Chain A
Amino acid sequence: MRRRLFALMVAGLMALSLVGCGGGDGASGSDGSGSSGNSIRLVNGKIEVDSQLKKLAEMYEKETGVHVEIESMGGGIDIQGELKAYYQSDNMPDIFVCGGEADFNNWVGNLQDMSDQAWVSDTDAAYVSDEGTIGFPYTTEAVGLAYNADILEKAGVDPASITSPAALKSAFETIDSKKDELGLTAVIGYFAEPVNLYWSTGNHLFGTYLDEGLARDDTTYIDMLNDGGKLDDARFAKFADMVELFNEYADQSLLVSGTYDQQILNFASGKYAFVTQGSWIGATMTTDDKDAYEAAGSFKCGMAPYAFDDGIDTILTNSPSWWAVYKDGNVEEAEKFLQWLTTDPAQEVLVMEAGFISPYKSCSYVANDPFAQTISDYTAAGKTSAWHWLNMTDGYAQNYTGQVFADFASGSIDKAKFIEIFKQVTEQAYAQ
């Protein structure tokens, strides 16, 4: 009998501890989903500014007492996939990053319309859909043919003259003939590696086909593409000519297999006159590659249009992604935090420390970034086009076109074949 009593006691104790655990789980669960009054959670897609955002969160907590948890993802993580897992496990953040039409379409009906917020009238870069203003812009990025102004000057090439394929070609030829005296490895740092750099070719470079030279609201080519994957033959042929030119003058040892780090380091060291990356490399050049950049004389940088057709004179600027507010989360506090981010103290951190180019008109800070000047020049002159590649179908660059660019670069297909295959894979991607 005594033994049985003992067994019962042990069982009771275990039950109690289990209940205790269960209760604890329940409590921490509600904390985690951020629905408790004074805490919000933000999923950030730019891991490189993680520390700056955490600093902002601290500032905000000091000011208002609301705790902001910053959760940064990046470096090859599929953020939308991760968010879906959060959604499945009922662990949604209050604010999360969305990168374009396909991302926003995933969450139709789940996002808060922020049209009534004060910041909306202060920017042109918000993401607006049928559901209202659902995306909060936090930075502006530019895609253009980035160049080393010092080298171009020494070679006697005027970057402002690059507005036609002929001018682009003659610039390349001029620089190529003086390669040795300028200390260049190659004229252009064009990398077409398909595993880790597919986004550079498949999204950004191809984005120039969609938008270069067009007005910001001109959707001719993206509409054609989204209509079952159609390409404009004449325009694409000219685009292919430009890619062929890049292949010819690129750094052959790294063209098909180089990494992003090598590309930026070599450009920062003054080994390439041009590089096919956007304004975000400025941050890398002044932090990670600082030594090499200073050794190369902290040269001036600029951006030329990807002039594959006559008269192209714009660069592509846009908000690369937006922050959306989850409808079932802590909407009120999330909206307050976003509004606070547009105020001066927050903008100072975002611009001066995170290196963002503010999409807000009221912001008076200018980043100490090699590309900040050229972007504001183009913006002031009204010579910018949008980034409609954000509206391409899911996985188009990663699973389809990145590889085609790589094949063209390695020489296993020629230009005619490149065009033919490009059209074929585009149809495949849109048939899905």
Chain B
Amino acid sequence: MSSNKSAQRIASIVVLLLGLVSTIVALVIDIMGMELSFRGALLILGILLFFTGLYFIPTQKHHKTIINIIFLFPLLFCFAVTVIIPFGLGLFYSTTDWNGIRMTGFVGLSNYTAMFKDPSFLWSLIITVVFVIINMIAVNVIGLALAVLCTSKIRAVGFFRAAYFIPNLIGGIVLGYIWQFIFNNVVLKWTLDAFNYNSSMLSKYNTAFLAIVMVYVWQYAGYIMMIYITGLTTVPSDVIEAAAIDGATAVQTFFKIKLPMIASTITICTFLTLQSAFKQFDVNMSLTNGTGSVQDFMGQYLSNGTQMLALNIYNTAITKNNYAMGQAKAVLFFIILSIVSILQVRISNKREVEM
């Protein structure tokens, strides 16, 4: 029995080592840039052998741990390949002068310091924050109002629900171009006839900013409305009936009963809008592509009056051909978004405990 066991042990260790070696060889082949087409197969085979060996190691004590590792591995592997490794590379590249093709040297933290001295980037940061605040309020208020409308007893409620939700199903790029056409042709014709004003809303940064807010609210309010509808339908009808018997008006019922009952929905929606507004990119790009002039900001003329953070990062890297600087800005963007996410988790956890 014991000899059988030790044989199994040796066999499994051999298999494990074989797997490890072939995995490493496959990785080395890839990193060295050798043109050997079997390296992918070798890598997978190596990993499988490794885990087969690991699985058959005769141990009672660690068997459970080993099983856990084996089951976690696919997920961890994917997470590492798609998130952790690129993130590490990104941090690395942000300290170099990488241009997307090659790097010639390290620049330390100068990308980070240069970014905060650049008025156009600071402007992007400021208008992104303004945009987020305006949208958080506007989308939620309008979404909630639409939800109340679509849960009331008016006719054709289903039609309205669908109609308000559909903009969210259209891709942001398409939507941006559709609205660009509307602003540049329809709205422009009105303003030209009415005030003899020859430029469209999109040509001045302040009106263009308003235009982006409008389009964004139009796109996103329907989605938020759907979540609020779900929230409102979970409010127990007996409570509402009791309030009606006590003589509460519709307004009182809404503010004193429905609103407190859907507080958790409000939290979710607030953070949803906050995050997605921060990451606003597609409508911004297709509608104005960041144009709109600011005559004097910190003593400089800016030509990126409506360029929000995500678009600024993209533009820095792609059109200005400065990938390392774009990467540094993306790291800052990541930090901001992770602070928002942590806050969100904290607050919703706290609220759940209270409830």
Contact = CB atoms under 8 A, between A and B. Distances in A.
Interface of A: 11, 15, 18-19, 22-23, 25-27, 29-30, 35, 78, 80-81, 84, 87-88, 102, 106-107, 110, 193-196, 198, 252-253, 255-259, 394-395, 398-404, 406-407, 409-413, 421, 424-425, 428, 432
B189 A253 contact: yes
A19 B41 contact: yes
Given A15-B48, A394-B321, A403-B292, A410 B199 contact: yes
Q: How big is the B interface, by class?
A: 35 or more
23 contacts: A18-B44, A22-B44, A27-B37, A30-B35, A80-B321, A84-B100, A87-B101, A106-B100, A194-B203, A194-B303, A195-B291, A253-B198, A256-B198, A395-B315, A398-B319, A399-B303, A400-B303, A402-B303, A403-B291, A406-B199, A410-B199, A412-B199, A425-B303
A30 B35 CA distance: 9
A394 B289 CA distance: 16
Given A27-B37, A424-B300, A395 B48 contact: no
Contacts of A424: 300-301
Contacts of A409: 199
A255 B192 CA distance: 12
B318 interface: yes
Nearest to B43: A22
B132 interface: no
Interface of B: 35, 37-41, 43-45, 48, 52, 99-101, 180, 183-185, 188-189, 192, 198-200, 202-204, 288-293, 295, 300-301, 303-305, 315, 317-323
* Closest CB pairs A-B (n = 6): A403-B303, A26-B37, A84-B100, A410-B199, A22-B41, A257-B200
Contacts of A252: 192, 198
Nearest to B315: A399
A77 to B, nearest CB: 10
Contacts of B185: 257
B353 to A, nearest CB: 43
B291 A257 contact: no
B43 to A, nearest CB: 7
Contacts, number: 133
Nearest to B287: A195
B55 to A, nearest CB: 9
Contacts of B295: 413
B38 A84 contact: no
Given A252-B192, A257-B188, 7 more contacts: A15-B45, A84-B323, A195-B291, A394-B319, A399-B320, A406-B203, A410-B199
Name the residue in A110, A195, A253, A421 with the highest tally of chain B Cβ atoms < 10 Å from its Cβ.
A195
Nearest to B33: A90
A257 B45 contact: no
A194 B199 contact: no
Contact of A421 (B37, B301, B305): B301
Contacts of A411: 198
A256 to B, nearest CB: 4
Given A194-B203, A195-B180, A18 B48 contact: yes
B144 to A, nearest CB: 33
Contact of A257 (B43, B99, B203, B322): B203
